């Protein structure tokens, strides 16, 4: 941990306005029944008392983005010949994401090995990743759907954050996690935070204690791998699922996408959009064949990817941050924790 500061609650909006002068600040805001991240507006109330409905995923990985634009042009000297002019759409951003829970920012540590550190480096993700800082708010009261401690995390996990805020009496304790975070704490609105360090630690410990004991999931990757061919098991686990995709669209660690060309006359755009592995169309081939034809096949892939395939590829790290959104927002109460425990307890044949 780096520098530590204190921010009085009555100076929070001043600090955000100060940050907004040099960066786009995305903060949790109420829209209808949902809390979502939008550019900070002092006239709109911040919603910090509850976990945002949406994670801050769109800050680095938009739900839909233009990758490039193209234009066909005829050769004036040879009308039967045409060329294609391509213009890449590189994002240019400078942003601070404020008020996400630590699990929301930690989701990007799952993205990084895929989009930055693998054989292919995604320039669109990289551009946003390198120009975005995360100021997260430690959980003081976890919800009953939270299970971050199951996956090696905690309500105050600093991984993925640049600054970690912990609510204390009359304000917030701020810890700089990265050099970028230290720059954000240079404001004169902040004072020395050593006087609230003890209280901060008590808040963190109380939140972690509230979660209780976590089960040992070290054998789960192999257990799920062994259950790959057991469709009876996956039929039982997916019986309630209606394939709506809420679990994937609200997940901080889901990164599947589709790419489409959208033509308009002699020009067009290439667009990348989030995709949903729980949809029948996700793996539907042009021939009409679908290698994942049932809900059981698709749920097997979703759970297997997070708790078996990804850990095998990336140093046993689960592709799940335990935020619980997939549980809380599922209209039929499919609980991924129950699936994991069922796989863990399933007798090996």
Domain holding 169, by residue range, is: 4-345
Cα atoms found within 13 Å of the Cα of residue 63, Cβ hemisphere only: 9
Determine how many CB atoms are found less than 10 A away from the CB of residue 254: 27
How many Å separate Cα 130 from the centre of its chain?
16
Angle between helices 295-304 and 336-345 in degrees, nearest 10: 80
Distance CA 168, CA 199 (A): 7
pLDDT, tens digit, 9 for 90 and up, residues 24-79? 999 999 999 999 999 999 999 999 999 999 999 999 999 999 999 999 998 888 87
How many structural domains is the chain composed of? 1
pLDDT, tens digit, 9 for 90 and up, residues 191-234? 999 999 999 999 999 999 999 999 999 999 999 999 999 999 99
pLDDT, tens digit, 9 for 90 and up, residues 233-276? 999 999 999 999 999 999 999 999 999 999 999 999 999 999 99
């Amino acid at each position: 941990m780096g520098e530590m500061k204190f921010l009085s609650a009555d100076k929070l909006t001043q600090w955000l306005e100060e940050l907004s002068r040099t960066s786009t600040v995305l903060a949790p805001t109420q829209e209808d029944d949902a809390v979502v991240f939008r550019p900070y507006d002092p006239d709109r109330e911040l919603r910090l008392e509850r976990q945002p409905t949406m994670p801050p995923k769109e800050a680095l990985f938009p739900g839909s983005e233009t990758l490039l634009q193209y234009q066909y042009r005829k050769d004036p000297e040879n009308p039967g010949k045409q060329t294609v002019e391509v213009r890449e759409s590189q994002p240019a951003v400078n942003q601070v994401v404020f008020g996400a829970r630590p699990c929301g920012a930690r989701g990007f540590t799952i993205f990084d090995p895929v989009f930055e550190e693998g054989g292919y480096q995604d320039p669109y993700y990289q551009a946003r990743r390198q120009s975005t800082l995360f100021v997260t708010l430690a959980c003081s009261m976890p919800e009953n759907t939270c299970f971050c401690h199951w996956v090696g995390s905690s309500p105050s996990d600093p991984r993925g954050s640049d600054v970690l805020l912990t609510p204390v009496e009359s304000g917030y304790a701020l810890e700089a996690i990265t050099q970028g975070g230290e720059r954000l704490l240079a404001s004169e609105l902040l004072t020395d935070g050593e006087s609230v360090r003890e209280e901060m630690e008590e808040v963190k410990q109380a939140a972690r204690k509230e979660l209780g004991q976590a089960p040992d999931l070290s054998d789960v990757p192999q257990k799920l791998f062994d259950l790959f061919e057991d469709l009876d098991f996956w039929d039982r686990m997916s019986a309630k699922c209606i394939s709506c995709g809420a679990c994937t669209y609200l997940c901080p660690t889901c990164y599947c996408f589709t790419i489409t060309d959208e033509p308009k006359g002699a020009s067009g755009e290439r667009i990348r959009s989030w995709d949903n592995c729980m949809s029948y169309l996700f793996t539907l081939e042009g021939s009409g064949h679908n290698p994942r034809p049932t809900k059981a096949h698709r749920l097997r892939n979703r759970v297997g990817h997070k708790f078996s395939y990804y850990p095998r590829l990336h140093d046993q790290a689960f592709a799940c941050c335990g935020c619980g959104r997939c549980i809380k927002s599922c209209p039929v109460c499919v609980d991924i924790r129950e699936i994991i425990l069922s796989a863990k307890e399933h007798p090996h044949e």
